Protein backbone atom coordinates (compact mmCIF):
# COMPACT_ATOMS: atom_id res chain seq x y z
CA UNK A 1 0.00 0.00 0.00
CA UNK A 2 2.81 2.35 0.91
CA UNK A 3 4.51 1.71 -2.43
CA UNK A 4 1.34 2.59 -4.31
CA UNK A 5 1.15 5.94 -2.50
CA UNK A 6 4.77 6.73 -3.41
CA UNK A 7 4.19 5.89 -7.06
CA UNK A 8 1.10 8.11 -7.22
CA UNK A 9 3.00 11.00 -5.62
CA UNK A 10 5.87 10.74 -8.10
CA UNK A 11 3.45 10.61 -11.04
CA UNK A 12 1.77 13.80 -9.81
CA UNK A 13 5.13 15.60 -9.62
CA UNK A 14 6.04 14.54 -13.15
CA UNK A 15 2.71 15.79 -14.49
CA UNK A 16 3.16 19.22 -12.84
CA UNK A 17 6.73 19.45 -14.17
CA UNK A 18 5.53 18.68 -17.70
CA UNK A 19 2.89 21.41 -17.54
CA UNK A 20 5.49 23.87 -16.24
CA UNK A 21 7.94 22.96 -19.01
CA UNK A 22 5.29 23.41 -21.70
CA UNK A 23 4.36 26.89 -20.46
CA UNK A 24 6.72 29.48 -22.07
CA UNK A 25 7.42 32.81 -20.30
CA UNK A 26 5.76 35.81 -21.96
CA UNK A 27 8.21 38.24 -23.61
CA UNK A 28 7.99 41.75 -22.23
CA UNK A 29 6.96 44.31 -24.85
CA UNK A 30 9.50 47.13 -25.11
CA UNK A 31 8.29 50.70 -24.70
CA UNK A 32 9.65 53.11 -27.29
CA UNK A 33 9.81 56.77 -28.26
CA UNK A 34 9.34 57.24 -31.99
CA UNK A 35 9.82 60.09 -34.45
CA UNK A 36 7.46 60.54 -37.36
CA UNK A 37 9.40 61.45 -40.50
CA UNK A 38 8.59 64.87 -41.93
CA UNK A 39 10.36 67.19 -44.33
CA UNK A 40 11.36 70.52 -42.90
CA UNK A 41 13.08 73.68 -44.04
CA UNK A 42 16.80 73.64 -43.25
CA UNK A 43 19.07 76.67 -43.50
CA UNK A 44 22.31 75.86 -45.32
CA UNK A 45 25.16 77.66 -43.56
CA UNK A 46 28.84 77.71 -44.49
CA UNK A 47 31.28 79.17 -41.95
CA UNK A 48 34.66 80.78 -42.64
CA UNK A 49 37.19 82.92 -40.74
CA UNK A 50 36.91 86.62 -41.63
CA UNK A 51 39.31 89.54 -41.20
CA UNK A 52 38.21 93.18 -41.33
CA UNK A 53 40.00 95.49 -43.76
CA UNK A 54 39.66 99.07 -45.01
CA UNK A 55 39.10 99.92 -48.66
CA UNK A 56 41.11 103.13 -48.13
CA UNK A 57 44.46 102.08 -46.70
CA UNK A 58 47.50 104.16 -47.63
CA UNK A 59 51.01 103.02 -46.71
CA UNK A 60 53.13 106.16 -47.10
CA UNK A 61 56.79 105.47 -47.85
CA UNK A 62 59.78 107.75 -47.88
CA UNK A 63 60.60 109.19 -51.35
CA UNK A 64 64.13 110.16 -50.29
CA UNK A 65 67.13 109.19 -48.23
CA UNK A 66 67.06 111.51 -45.26
CA UNK A 67 66.11 112.23 -41.68
CA UNK A 68 62.67 112.53 -40.09
CA UNK A 69 62.51 116.17 -39.04
CA UNK A 70 59.01 116.11 -37.55
CA UNK A 71 55.86 113.98 -37.11
CA UNK A 72 52.78 116.17 -37.23
CA UNK A 73 50.21 113.63 -36.07
CA UNK A 74 49.76 111.10 -33.28
CA UNK A 75 48.50 107.54 -33.57
CA UNK A 76 44.71 107.58 -34.04
CA UNK A 77 44.53 111.23 -35.15
CA UNK A 78 42.15 112.21 -37.93
CA UNK A 79 43.73 113.59 -41.09
CA UNK A 80 42.33 115.23 -44.20
CA UNK A 81 43.29 114.47 -47.76
CA UNK A 82 46.55 116.28 -48.71
CA UNK A 83 47.22 117.28 -45.09
CA UNK A 84 50.87 117.39 -43.99
CA UNK A 85 51.59 114.53 -41.61
CA UNK A 86 55.40 114.44 -41.50
CA UNK A 87 58.50 116.40 -42.60
CA UNK A 88 61.67 114.80 -43.95
CA UNK A 89 65.04 116.53 -44.43
CA UNK A 90 67.24 115.27 -47.22
CA UNK A 91 70.95 115.13 -46.50
CA UNK A 92 73.38 114.36 -49.27
CA UNK A 93 76.99 115.35 -49.96
CA UNK A 94 77.07 117.70 -46.96
CA UNK A 95 74.23 119.83 -48.29
CA UNK A 96 70.90 120.40 -46.53
CA UNK A 97 67.98 120.49 -48.93
CA UNK A 98 64.59 122.11 -48.54
CA UNK A 99 62.48 120.07 -46.04
CA UNK A 100 60.08 117.67 -47.78
CA UNK A 101 56.47 117.75 -46.62
CA UNK A 102 54.85 114.30 -46.53
CA UNK A 103 51.11 114.56 -47.19
CA UNK A 104 48.31 112.07 -46.74
CA UNK A 105 46.78 110.99 -50.07
CA UNK A 106 43.48 110.10 -48.37
CA UNK A 107 41.28 111.27 -45.52
CA UNK A 108 41.17 108.93 -42.54
CA UNK A 109 43.01 108.15 -39.34
CA UNK A 110 46.63 107.43 -38.51
CA UNK A 111 46.84 103.69 -37.95
CA UNK A 112 50.60 103.23 -37.80
CA UNK A 113 53.66 105.45 -37.28
CA UNK A 114 56.73 103.48 -38.26
CA UNK A 115 59.43 106.10 -37.60
CA UNK A 116 60.55 108.57 -34.93
CA UNK A 117 61.80 112.15 -35.12
CA UNK A 118 65.50 112.19 -35.87
CA UNK A 119 65.48 108.72 -37.42
CA UNK A 120 67.26 108.14 -40.72
CA UNK A 121 65.12 106.65 -43.51
CA UNK A 122 65.91 105.20 -46.89
CA UNK A 123 63.88 105.50 -50.07
CA UNK A 124 60.94 103.07 -49.81
CA UNK A 125 60.90 102.79 -46.00
CA UNK A 126 57.40 102.84 -44.49
CA UNK A 127 56.83 106.13 -42.68
CA UNK A 128 53.14 106.37 -41.76
CA UNK A 129 49.97 104.41 -42.55
CA UNK A 130 46.57 106.07 -42.92
CA UNK A 131 43.29 104.25 -43.33
CA UNK A 132 39.62 105.15 -43.42
CA UNK A 133 37.71 103.25 -40.69
CA UNK A 134 34.37 104.14 -42.27
CA UNK A 135 35.07 102.05 -45.39
CA UNK A 136 35.30 98.63 -43.75
CA UNK A 137 34.80 95.32 -45.49
CA UNK A 138 35.47 91.71 -44.60
CA UNK A 139 37.73 89.26 -46.40
CA UNK A 140 37.11 85.51 -46.28
CA UNK A 141 39.03 82.69 -47.92
CA UNK A 142 36.75 80.12 -49.55
CA UNK A 143 37.99 76.56 -50.26
CA UNK A 144 37.95 75.80 -53.99
CA UNK A 145 35.40 73.02 -53.40
CA UNK A 146 32.90 75.71 -52.29
CA UNK A 147 33.35 77.98 -55.32
CA UNK A 148 29.89 77.18 -56.68
CA UNK A 149 27.98 77.61 -53.43
CA UNK A 150 29.23 81.09 -52.50
CA UNK A 151 27.56 83.76 -54.66
CA UNK A 152 27.25 87.56 -54.54
CA UNK A 153 24.46 89.01 -52.36
CA UNK A 154 24.16 85.96 -50.10
CA UNK A 155 23.43 87.09 -46.51
CA UNK A 156 26.30 86.85 -44.02
CA UNK A 157 26.16 86.86 -40.23
CA UNK A 158 29.45 87.96 -38.67
CA UNK A 159 30.55 87.19 -35.11
CA UNK A 160 33.28 89.48 -33.77
CA UNK A 161 33.89 88.09 -30.31
CA UNK A 162 36.94 90.31 -29.78
CA UNK A 163 34.66 93.37 -29.60
CA UNK A 164 31.58 91.53 -28.30
CA UNK A 165 29.66 91.96 -31.55
CA UNK A 166 27.93 88.65 -32.29
CA UNK A 167 25.33 89.55 -34.91
CA UNK A 168 26.90 91.93 -37.43
CA UNK A 169 25.00 91.83 -40.71
CA UNK A 170 26.68 91.66 -44.09
CA UNK A 171 26.43 90.18 -47.57
CA UNK A 172 28.81 88.64 -50.09
CA UNK A 173 30.05 91.45 -52.34
CA UNK A 174 32.10 89.33 -54.74
CA UNK A 175 34.35 86.31 -55.07
CA UNK A 176 37.56 85.82 -57.00
CA UNK A 177 37.72 83.40 -59.92
CA UNK A 178 41.42 82.68 -59.34
CA UNK A 179 42.65 80.39 -56.56
CA UNK A 180 45.71 81.13 -54.47
CA UNK A 181 48.13 78.29 -55.33
CA UNK A 182 49.65 78.47 -51.84
CA UNK A 183 46.41 78.13 -49.86
CA UNK A 184 44.06 76.55 -52.40
CA UNK A 185 41.40 79.16 -51.59
CA UNK A 186 39.44 81.89 -53.37
CA UNK A 187 39.23 85.36 -51.82
CA UNK A 188 35.73 86.74 -51.28
CA UNK A 189 34.74 90.19 -50.03
CA UNK A 190 31.91 90.76 -47.57
CA UNK A 191 30.10 94.09 -47.43
CA UNK A 192 29.44 95.18 -43.83
CA UNK A 193 25.85 96.42 -43.59
CA UNK A 194 26.02 97.51 -39.94
CA UNK A 195 27.74 100.89 -39.94
CA UNK A 196 30.25 101.05 -37.12
CA UNK A 197 33.95 101.82 -36.72
CA UNK A 198 35.19 98.33 -35.99
CA UNK A 199 38.95 97.94 -35.42
CA UNK A 200 40.68 97.05 -38.66
CA UNK A 201 42.51 93.73 -38.64
CA UNK A 202 40.34 91.89 -36.12
CA UNK A 203 39.33 88.33 -36.92
CA UNK A 204 35.89 86.74 -36.53
CA UNK A 205 33.57 84.12 -37.98
CA UNK A 206 31.45 84.65 -41.08
CA UNK A 207 28.39 82.45 -41.52
CA UNK A 208 27.23 82.56 -45.13
CA UNK A 209 23.56 81.69 -45.59
CA UNK A 210 23.19 79.67 -48.81
CA UNK A 211 19.39 79.55 -48.56
CA UNK A 212 16.94 76.96 -47.29
CA UNK A 213 16.12 73.53 -48.67
CA UNK A 214 13.58 70.85 -47.77
CA UNK A 215 15.28 67.98 -45.94
CA UNK A 216 14.51 64.99 -43.73
CA UNK A 217 16.08 65.43 -40.31
CA UNK A 218 16.07 62.69 -37.70
CA UNK A 219 17.32 62.44 -34.15
CA UNK A 220 20.93 61.24 -34.07
CA UNK A 221 19.95 58.81 -31.29
CA UNK A 222 17.92 56.84 -33.88
CA UNK A 223 21.05 55.74 -35.74
CA UNK A 224 22.37 52.18 -35.45
CA UNK A 225 25.62 50.90 -36.91
CA UNK A 226 26.75 47.54 -38.26
CA UNK A 227 30.16 47.85 -39.85
CA UNK A 228 29.87 50.57 -42.47
CA UNK A 229 26.10 50.16 -42.64
CA UNK A 230 23.86 52.74 -40.95
CA UNK A 231 20.29 51.75 -40.21
CA UNK A 232 17.22 52.77 -38.22
CA UNK A 233 14.41 50.74 -36.68
CA UNK A 234 11.04 51.28 -38.40
CA UNK A 235 7.75 50.76 -36.53
CA UNK A 236 4.85 49.85 -38.85
CA UNK A 237 1.10 50.35 -38.32
CA UNK A 238 0.95 47.06 -36.39
CA UNK A 239 3.73 48.21 -34.05
CA UNK A 240 6.14 45.64 -35.47
CA UNK A 241 9.81 46.50 -35.98
CA UNK A 242 11.98 46.19 -39.10
CA UNK A 243 15.50 47.43 -39.80
CA UNK A 244 16.10 49.87 -42.66
CA UNK A 245 19.49 50.93 -44.11
CA UNK A 246 19.80 54.68 -44.79
CA UNK A 247 22.29 57.18 -46.13
CA UNK A 248 22.96 60.30 -44.10
CA UNK A 249 24.42 63.75 -44.75
CA UNK A 250 25.48 66.46 -42.34
CA UNK A 251 24.84 66.63 -38.60
CA UNK A 252 23.67 69.63 -36.61
CA UNK A 253 22.44 70.10 -33.04
CA UNK A 254 21.73 66.43 -32.39
CA UNK A 255 20.01 65.84 -35.74
CA UNK A 256 21.22 64.29 -39.00
CA UNK A 257 20.06 64.74 -42.58
CA UNK A 258 18.71 61.62 -44.30
CA UNK A 259 19.71 61.47 -47.96
CA UNK A 260 18.08 58.15 -48.84
CA UNK A 261 16.17 55.25 -47.28
CA UNK A 262 13.18 56.87 -45.57
CA UNK A 263 9.79 58.20 -46.60
CA UNK A 264 7.62 60.83 -45.00
CA UNK A 265 5.12 59.65 -42.36
CA UNK A 266 7.20 56.58 -41.46
CA UNK A 267 8.03 56.10 -37.78
CA UNK A 268 11.48 55.35 -36.42
CA UNK A 269 12.58 54.42 -32.90
CA UNK A 270 14.69 57.11 -31.24
CA UNK A 271 14.77 55.52 -27.79
CA UNK A 272 13.58 52.33 -26.07
CA UNK A 273 13.65 50.82 -22.58
CA UNK A 274 15.18 47.59 -23.83
CA UNK A 275 16.66 45.70 -26.74
CA UNK A 276 14.43 45.65 -29.83
CA UNK A 277 14.99 43.15 -32.65
CA UNK A 278 13.37 42.94 -36.12
CA UNK A 279 9.93 41.36 -35.87
CA UNK A 280 9.39 42.44 -32.26
CA UNK A 281 6.19 44.12 -31.21
CA UNK A 282 6.66 47.40 -29.33
CA UNK A 283 4.51 49.82 -27.39
CA UNK A 284 4.72 53.45 -28.50
CA UNK A 285 4.64 55.69 -25.43
CA UNK A 286 5.71 58.98 -27.01
CA UNK A 287 6.08 60.56 -30.41
CA UNK A 288 8.81 63.14 -30.96
CA UNK A 289 8.98 65.78 -33.68
Please tell me the predicted confidence (pLDDT) of residue 87.
Answer: 95
Every domain of the chain with CATH number 2.40.50.100 lies at 58-131
Every domain of the chain with CATH number 2.40.420.20 lies at 30-42+214-288
Mean pLDDT of 27-35: 85
pLDDT, tens digit, for every residue of 120-155? 999 999 999 999 988 899 999 999 988 888 999 999
Every domain of the chain with CATH number 2.40.30.170 lies at 46-54+134-213
Q: Which CATH code of 2.140.10.30, 3.40.50.410, 2.40.30.170, 2.40.128.20 fits the domain covering 46-54+134-213?
A: 2.40.30.170
Please tell me the predicted confidence (pLDDT) of residue 72.
Answer: 95
To the nearest 10°, report the CA torsion of 72, 74, 75, 81.
Answer: -40
Confidence of residue 248 (pLDDT cuts 50, 70, 90): very high
Does the domain at 58-131 match CATH 2.40.160.20? Answer given as no
The answer, yes or no, to whether residue 19 has pLDDT greater than 50, is no
- Whole-number average pLDDT of the chain: 87
Tell me the whole-structure pTM to 2 decimals: 0.62
30-42+214-288: which CATH architecture? Beta Barrel (2.40)
pLDDT, tens digit, for every residue of 254-271? 888 899 999 988 999 999
DSSP states along 116-163: -TT-EE-TT-EEEEEE-TTSEEEEEEEEGGGTTT--TT-EEEEEEGGG
Amino acid sequence: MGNLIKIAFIACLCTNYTFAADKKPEKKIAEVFVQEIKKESFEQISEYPIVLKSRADSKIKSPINGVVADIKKKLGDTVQENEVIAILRQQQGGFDYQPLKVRSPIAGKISNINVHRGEYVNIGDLVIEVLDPTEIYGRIEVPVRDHKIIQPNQPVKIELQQVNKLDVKGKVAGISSAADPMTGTLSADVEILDKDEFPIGIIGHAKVNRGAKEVMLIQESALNYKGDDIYVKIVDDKNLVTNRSIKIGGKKAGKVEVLDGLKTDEQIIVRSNGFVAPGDEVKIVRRKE
